[in-house]
Amino acid sequence: MSTSPSLPGLQVKSRGVIFDATAVPESRAIAYMTSLAVLKSGTIMAGWQNGKGKHDAKNTIRLARSRDGGATWNVLPVDFETMWEGVPGSLAAGEMVESEPGRLLLFTTWFDRSKPERPLFNPETEGILRSKQLVAVSNDEGETWSEWQEVPTPGLTGCATSGPAITWSNGTVAHAFESFKEFDDPEPAKFGAWLCVSRDGGRSFERPWSVAKDPQQKIYHWDQRLCATNNDGEFVAMFWTHNRAEQRDLNVHLLRASLTDGDRAARQPFVTSIPGQIAAPCLAEDGRLLAFVIDRGNPGTMTLWQSADDGKAWPEEARLIVHTHDERAALTQGRDNIDFAEYWEDMGKWSFGHPVIRPIGDDWLLAWYAGSPDRMSIHWARVCQQA
């Protein structure tokens, strides 16, 4: 296959498994919501949500560590507290970022499971369980962690971690999350993508900074994934974009903005030519923008795309399909005429997804979850340019 003259070819250099769900008890058989963090020491951390089922009332987060560039992984024997202020809960997402050399922050979402029979999503009100954004600190590369501390999200409800935390050279840290509505709230939902920003290494946080929010609530910019640029406070964000009014998914949307823009991003996300849902961006040293994207078409794919013009064009001939998936879950929704409540049900069935990409030397380390509906593992691949 030929490639664009302005974009190099890509190839998978190696691949493997971070967490093998086929070799664990049923209580840990479902692993998803993947994360990666590359530390200044060279250590790589991985995180994921884990339990016997997607969105199970007893789900927690697990971590693994690699000290050989991602070739081998050791699951850490860390058990995180799932109670918050005396209320039983579950943990979703394990997003990590090194705020200072040797100081690692771990962000998660706590969901109220005081009524364990309740699902995550209420199909009648379209709200989700009461939640809190939490952060813990490790100073020994994940061996031990502090107690959870709340990351405040004043005025927002139905909040959930929606992608990796990022940091810049000036020490600023931003935790990505989204807001919706709570389980019993009868009012119409109001969706927004946000950042919780810290200027002191995660010790305190400013009021949430708005990344993307449609004033008319017709377009939802779900599952934001961000990467920082070399300019302090600037980032590239990509979104799984859903047109609620037209009941269909749109192509992946992209936004380049800065915390210096003021109270919200100065520009609205624009549509790209990339089909699919969650898209994880990464900037290469030569200025290329890469995007690791899940497309739940038939067949399902995890594809690495490239752009040489800040995301305006994404040549198909320069993409690399990293994983092809045979989805065996009993799904009900396609790309169009989407029933919103049924779509949420499908989200609890999908057996692959959550792309992550991190630069590692001259290569890129990718991670995602994939498996069968009853056993989902965490996979990795190392991608390099073709010689």
R_g of the chain, CA atoms, integer Å: 19
CA distances from 307 to 76, 226, 291, 312, 317 (A): 37, 16, 8, 7, 11
Give the pLDDT score at 348. 83
Which pair of tokens denotes residue 306? 């490239």
Answer whether residue 112 is part of any domain.
yes
pLDDT in tens, 135-186: 999 999 999 999 999 999 999 999 999 999 999 999 999 999 999 999 999 9
Answer whether residue 4 is part of any domain.
no
- The mean-pLDDT minimum among 148-157, 163-172, 209-218, 263-272 falls in 263-272
Rounded to whole angstroms, the Cα distance separating 74 from 72 reads 7
Give the pLDDT score at 313. 96
Q: What is the pTM of this model?
A: 0.96
For residue 377, what is the enclosing H or E element? strand 375-385
Answer whether residue 111 is part of any domain.
yes
Answer whether residue 5 is part of any domain.
no
Answer whether residue 2 is part of any domain.
no
Q: What is the CATH number of the domain that holds 112?
A: 2.120.10.10
Answer whether residue 3 is part of any domain.
no
Full domain range(s) for residue 98: 10-385
pLDDT in tens, 220-245: 999 999 999 999 999 999 999 999 88
Answer whether residue 229 is part of any domain.
yes
Answer whether residue 1 is part of any domain.
no
Structural contact between residues 350 and 329, judged by C-beta atoms closer than 8 angstroms: yes
pLDDT in tens, 293-302: 999 988 999 9
Nearest residue to 43 via CA among 63, 67, 64, 62: 67
What sign does the CA torsion over 201, 288, 276, 330 have?
Answer: negative
Give how many domains the chain has, as a whole number. 1
Average of per-residue pLDDT across 93-113: 97
What sign does the CA torsion over 158, 92, 346, 251 have?
Answer: positive
Average of per-residue pLDDT across 317-343: 86
